[in-house]
Structure 1
Amino acid sequence: MGWVRSVGRGVLVVAVLLAGCAGGAPEPGAGPAGGRGALTFVTAGDLTDYLAPLVAEWNAERPAEPVALVELPDSADETRAQMLSELRSGSRRFDVLNIDVAWTPEFAAAGLIAPLEPERFDLGAFLPPVVGTATFRGRLYAVPYVTNAGLLYYRKDVLDAAGERAPRTWAELARLARTLAPRHGLAGYAGQFLPYEGLTVNVTEAIASAGGAVLSEEGARVGVDSDAARAALAFLAGGVREGWIPAEALRFTEEESRAAFEEGRLLFLRNWPYVYADAGRAGSRVAGRFEAAPLPGPYGPGRSVLGGSNLAVSARSRHPATAADFLAYLTSERVQRQVLTRGSLPPVRASLYADPELVAAHPYLPILRESVLAAVPRPKSARYDQVSLAVQAVAQDVLALRTSPEEGVLRLTRELAAIPHAGRGAPGPAGP
């Protein structure tokens, strides 16, 4: 998922119930009628162990409506597969789901999550772009929980010594990566270019920064046949051809690219906000020597793709009223503050990005706010998994210089057009 790093614990994690009430986990569907009662909250593995205390606080305050926390594998693909399998089987086991922002259209179009009443939640206090990740076909199907946006990390010491600033355009980035980096024994620039979801994100960001889109009209139309897409792929392929994107970057995920920057091998890195704290820790070779800036674009600051997760309610939940209360609790200002301080995850509430205490502890927050406000959702499609695979396959060939950017755009257009973009109408009912 976009709000945690792409590292696993090596094996699938057996789902663990962490009920906060005596007598063990509540049975799904147990409790009083009228939409109120016990809940099961399912999420990917919590790498920072911050969720269990939040659930325990809820359970202490609401002992009649306890929540059991179920942790699935921290692999996004495994989590999605297990959630879909459970929901499609007709099971009522899961009530509240913590889903990647890119999954909301898929789950909504399949009728697996229930539409929500917008007035029930304090959406006006959220950073505006994040709300768009929770809607599909004009309806609210989830509530934003945590967000994320890509940042450009750079060696401030190297740029300062050369009298340079953080690049704001692709041309400035390419010039510094090509000329300044080698003088200091550094590679120029890296993102996440291994063919996986990270590559989809990097390519989508480049296309959006140039003013284009992979899909438009919420997945109803393929929009990638554009000058913007050709410019984006040409920019990335040119970096590989000219050498300022090192060949090893074609094998980088978030963690490999983070390690390369932290070990002092890169001048520039595109990555998520979690890198700021990691690279600043004792033992990092760049601690105190780097900063973060918004991603550059062809003519000025570019646009990131939104990461993060949304909270949704299963269409089969017997306790949707309690579930809505739980969503409001997790997105309250008090809990959102803990999401950042305990979990080191970017919150969705705008006020927290200007909080002096939080900014002192997390200096990247003002830059992240700027990036989130300019960010775009990933392509909305009920077949997002197929869309992402098509983008990865084509982009991999373009970056490996096996296919030209022009040929890549034409091929991607054909492949996206062949995907049945379900969800052109309103999703049907999920059944009794």
Structure 2
Amino acid sequence: MRWIRAAGRGLLVLAVVLAGYGGSGARADGGSQGRGPLTLATGGDLTGYLGSLLQGWNRAHPSERVTLVELPDSPDETRAQMITDLRDGDHGRFDVLNIDVAWTSEFAAADWIRPLPRDRFPLGSFLPPVVDTATYDGQLYAVPYVTNAGLLLYRKDILAAEGVPAPRTWAELERDAKTIAPRHGLDGYAGQFLPYEGLTVNAAEAVYSAGGTILGDEGDRVTVGSAAREGIGFLARGVREGWVPKEALTYTEEESRRAFQDGRLLFLRNWPYAYVSASAAGSAVAGKVGAVPLPGPDGPGTSVLGGSNLAVTTHAAHPETAARLIAYLTGEGVQRQVLLKGALPPVRADLYEDPDLVRKFPYLPTLRASVLTAAPRPKSPRYDQVSLVVQAVVHDAMTGHTTPAAAVRRLARELAEIARRG
């Protein structure tokens, strides 16, 4: 769930296990018409705003109180603790999980979360692509809560001084990173290139932007090809030619954000939280930051969708309370607070065109455009294994231990083996 850090180490991973709804392993309602207390499991709520939202719910619903359980900040540890609880069946503690969007397929295929009725939730009010992250095999298994898309942050003061617009293509990005950045004592371009979930995201964006895909048919079919070679080649070429600094091979979201915010980078791929942080008072680049969609080979590229979804565990009780809690958390008022207090991108489409919010968060129109053209990470019931393979192969190509062509052949071979095991 690298999205948690991706959307800003201030990004909460709300884990609200929605109780109820028919599904394998579901318990009887266990309360008055399916109502009663719930336990919400979450990765660290680093923004601190979730508690106040739940206090509001608990004051209004004293007999249906929600208890918040904060799991570790590390997405890998959060996922591991959730899975341990889910495998405990009816003895599990959690009623509601806020899962990284990339986990939906895995959790659904394992029968740890239950299918949900689409008509209970305001899906028509959401940005359309986010709903796809909550489905598996054509069925809704979660409800989108927050979304995210990668942006290209840039030093607008430097590009203005040079008289050039923000890059729209890879060629323009490479040219400016090679020529303009050194003239101003800066490194050219960075993303999240340490071998972890962030590198999977960056690699997938490069492949998608080149017009390719990685997996199809819910993980049963490997689809990497020439576009994957082009995308991986773009990343590897940057390191080889020096417009991607070697130090970027150690960057997660936070290291890359600090490099940009400290005034050491001309361009940065990151999530919107980095724009907010770099633009805040005290930042070395406050007032000097611009944001555009990620470039691609011939124009704007494709971002990977980040964010988190609310899922109901198969052993959750009190279904009616869970349904109303989800409606509360995805309602317009709470979604507005998600943005205002947490700087987290909401899923409700109308908020991206609210004049007051756009004045406060100028990147919203760009983010909306990026979300509308974004794509989910490869769907697979063995997503954790898929991600590890992508990270390892792409990192080897970026460090020069293999060629992009050889990397793609290895990627196809190892993904096919995972698909066969699935």
TM-score by length of 1: 0.91
Q: Which residue of 2 aligns with 1:393?
A: 392
Decide which moves more: 212-221 or 42-51. Answer: 212-221
Q: State how far apart, in whole Å, the 1-side matches of 2:161 and 2:101 are.
A: 40
1:124 aligns with 2:124: yes
1:262 aligns with 2:267: no
How many Å apart are 1:244 and its aligned residue?
0.4
Identity of aligned residues (%): 66
Q: 3-state DSSP class of the match of 2:291?
A: strand
Q: 3-state DSSP class of the match of 1:256?
A: helix
Q: State how far apart, in whole Å, the 1-side matches of 2:294 and 2:263 are.
A: 20
8 A contact 2:29–2:319 mirrored in 1? no
8 A contact 1:146–1:348 mirrored in 2? yes
Q: 3-state DSSP class of the match of 2:310?
A: strand
Decide which moves more: 55-64 or 40-49. Answer: 55-64
How many Å apart are 1:168 and its aligned residue?
0.4
Q: State how far apart, in whole Å, the 1-side matches of 2:403 and 2:119 are.
A: 49
User: What's the CA shift string for 1:9-67, capped at 9, x where partnerless?
Assistant: 9xxxxxxxxxxxxxxxxxx9996243221111111110001111111111111122111
Q: Which residue of 2 aligns with 1:404?
A: 403
How many Å apart are 1:166 and its aligned residue?
0.6
Alignment of 1:196-211 (within 5 A): 196-211=196-211
Q: Which amino acid aligns with 1:324?
A: A
8 A contact 1:30–1:37 mirrored in 2? no
Q: 3-state DSSP class of the match of 1:5?
A: helix
How many Å apart are 1:388 and its aligned residue?
0.3
How many Å apart are 1:282 and its aligned residue?
2.3
Q: Which residue of 2 aligns with 1:114?
A: 114
1:136 aligns with 2:136: yes
8 A contact 2:294–2:302 mirrored in 1? yes
Q: Which residue of 2 aligns with 1:285?
A: 284
How many Å apart are 1:120 and its aligned residue?
0.5
User: What's the CA shift string for 1:332-365, capped at 9, x where partnerless?
Assistant: 1111011111111110000000111111111111
Q: 3-state DSSP class of the match of 2:97?
A: strand
8 A contact 1:39–1:68 mirrored in 2? yes
Q: Which residue of 1 aligns with 2:59?
A: 60
Q: State how far apart, in whole Å, the 1-side matches of 2:28 and 2:137 are.
A: 29
Superposed CA RMSD: 1.7
Where does structure 2 lack aligned partners over 5 or more consecutive residues?
Answer: 11-26
Decide which moves more: 50-59 or 103-112. Answer: 50-59
Q: Which residue of 1 aligns with 2:380?
A: 381
Q: State how far apart, in whole Å, the 2-side matches of 1:374 and 1:72 are.
A: 32
Q: 3-state DSSP class of the match of 2:181?
A: helix
Q: Which residue of 1 aligns with 2:321?
A: 322
How many Å apart are 1:89 and its aligned residue?
1.4
Q: State how far apart, in whole Å, the 1-side matches of 2:151 and 2:336 are.
A: 21
Q: 3-state DSSP class of the match of 1:418?
A: helix
User: What's the CA shift string for 1:46-99, capped at 9, x where partnerless?
Assistant: 000111111111111112211111111111011100000011011242111111
Q: 3-state DSSP class of the match of 1:408?
A: helix
Q: Which residue of 1 aligns with 2:16?
A: none
Q: Which amino acid aligns with 1:35?
A: G
How many Å apart are 1:258 and its aligned residue?
0.6
Q: State how far apart, in whole Å, the 2-side matches of 1:65 and 1:159 are.
A: 54
1:164 aligns with 2:190: no
Number of aligned positions between the proteins:
404
Q: Which amino acid aligns with 1:345?
A: L
Q: State how far apart, in whole Å, the 1-side matches of 2:34 and 2:221 are.
A: 38
Alignment of 1:3-82 (within 5 A): 3-5=3-5, 32-82=31-81
User: What's the CA shift string for 1:152-184, capped at 9, x where partnerless?
Assistant: 000111111111001000000001101111111
1:309 aligns with 2:308: yes
Q: State how far apart, in whole Å, the 2-side matches of 1:181 and 1:318 are.
A: 57
Q: Which residue of 1 aligns with 2:20?
A: none
8 A contact 1:38–1:66 mirrored in 2? yes
Q: Which has the higher helix share?
A: 2
8 A contact 1:2–1:309 mirrored in 2? no
User: What's the CA shift string for 1:102-138, capped at 9, x where partnerless?
Assistant: 0010110000001000010010010000000000000
Q: State how far apart, in whole Å, the 2-side matches of 1:261 and 1:114 are.
A: 42
Where does structure 1 lack aligned partners over 5 or more consecutive residues?
Answer: 10-27, 424-432
Q: State how far apart, in whole Å, the 2-side matches of 1:42 and 1:119 are.
A: 25
8 A contact 2:9–2:46 mirrored in 1? no
Q: 3-state DSSP class of the match of 1:250?
A: helix
Q: Which residue of 2 aligns with 1:362?
A: 361
Q: State how far apart, in whole Å, the 2-side matches of 1:8 and 1:351 are.
A: 25
Cα distance change on mapping 1:29 and 1:357 into 2, 3 Å: farther
Q: State how far apart, in whole Å, the 2-side matches of 1:211 and 1:324 are.
A: 38
